Amino acid sequence: MMSNLHLSPSLQRAILEWDVQTWSHALYLWENHLPHNLKGLKGLEIGARRGGLSLYLAIKGAHMICSDLHSPEAAASPLHQRYQVESHVSYQAVNALALPFPDQSLDLIACKSVLGGLKRNNQADLKQMALREIQRVLKPGGYLLLAENLAGSQAHLFLRQRFQAWGHYWEYLTWDNLPDLLKPLEIIALEAHGITALLGRNEQQRHWLAQLDQRLEILTPPQVRYMACALARQPQELKVQ
């Protein structure tokens, strides 16, 4: 098992899979604000698919529950074995709207591209329900690591609906609403990134467009970017509801 995390390009690809240059901003935000060593902490990845965030946190020493609506073990365990963190990862089928864990039982919860996919078939907005569950099971002082798709500009919305199979049903978050959505968790850091990189037809094109985005972000507000990343914390003293 790796003792010191080095965010090499190959490790970033293993964790993030797609549009790595843009979404790697989430990894650096978390690295800048999380404790270096998470040994002894218990965490949960929601909507894991291939278990990239479980890999990231297990390398830092956390014991992770890698979860999805159906157990992701078949898809995720090869990645964890490759990086020799399998002893720090277990697998479980978990519904984000009804987490099967006791109150204040987890130190870390991580999710990437999850909240926007909860609303299907004209259901009520379920993001708040999922976040209430996250708050319920986090210990005082526990962390939420969040990376989510933002609505971005009207051009982003049009292109997603036109060219992405899930674009017509995905509920993209908005930058202005994120602080209220995360309440009453305490936001430690919150950033938005990405303007043109999602237009790339392959990972190499997305990489070079992300380099352009770093310059464009100096000139544009976060409301027109398509990815948000955050680190939030459960208050040390929980308010009685």
At 171, the pLDDT band (50, 70, 90 cuts) reads confident
pLDDT of residue 122: 58
Q: What 8-state DSSP symbol labels residue 123?
A: P
Residue 209 has pLDDT above 90, yes or no: yes
* Residue whose C-alpha is closest to residue 29's, from 143, 139, 106, 141: 143
For 10, list phi and psi in degrees, rounded to 5.
-70, -40
At 124, the pLDDT band (50, 70, 90 cuts) reads low
* Residue whose C-alpha is closest to residue 213's, from 19, 33, 4, 11: 19
At 68, the pLDDT band (50, 70, 90 cuts) reads very high
Residue 166 has pLDDT above 80, yes or no: no
What tokens appear for 38 in the block? Answer: 């998470």
**% of the chain beyond a pLDDT of 90:** 80
Chain centroid to CA 30: 10
Residue 4 has pLDDT above 60, yes or no: no
Residue 44 has pLDDT above 50, yes or no: yes
Residue 162 has pLDDT above 80, yes or no: no
Residue 120 has pLDDT above 70, yes or no: no
How is the beta sheet containing 89-93 ordered, strand by strand? 89-93, 63-68, 42-46, 106-112, 138-149, 227-233, 186-193
Residue 5 has pLDDT above 80, yes or no: no
Q: If one looks up domain 9-233 in CATH, what number appears?
A: 3.40.50.150
Residue 239 has pLDDT above 70, yes or no: no
Q: What is the mean pLDDT of the chain?
A: 91
Residue 125 has pLDDT above 80, yes or no: no
Question: Regarding predicted confidence, which is higher, 144 or 155?
Answer: 144
Per-residue pLDDT of 75-90, as tens digits, reads: 999 999 999 999 999 9
Residue ranges of the domains in the chain?
9-233
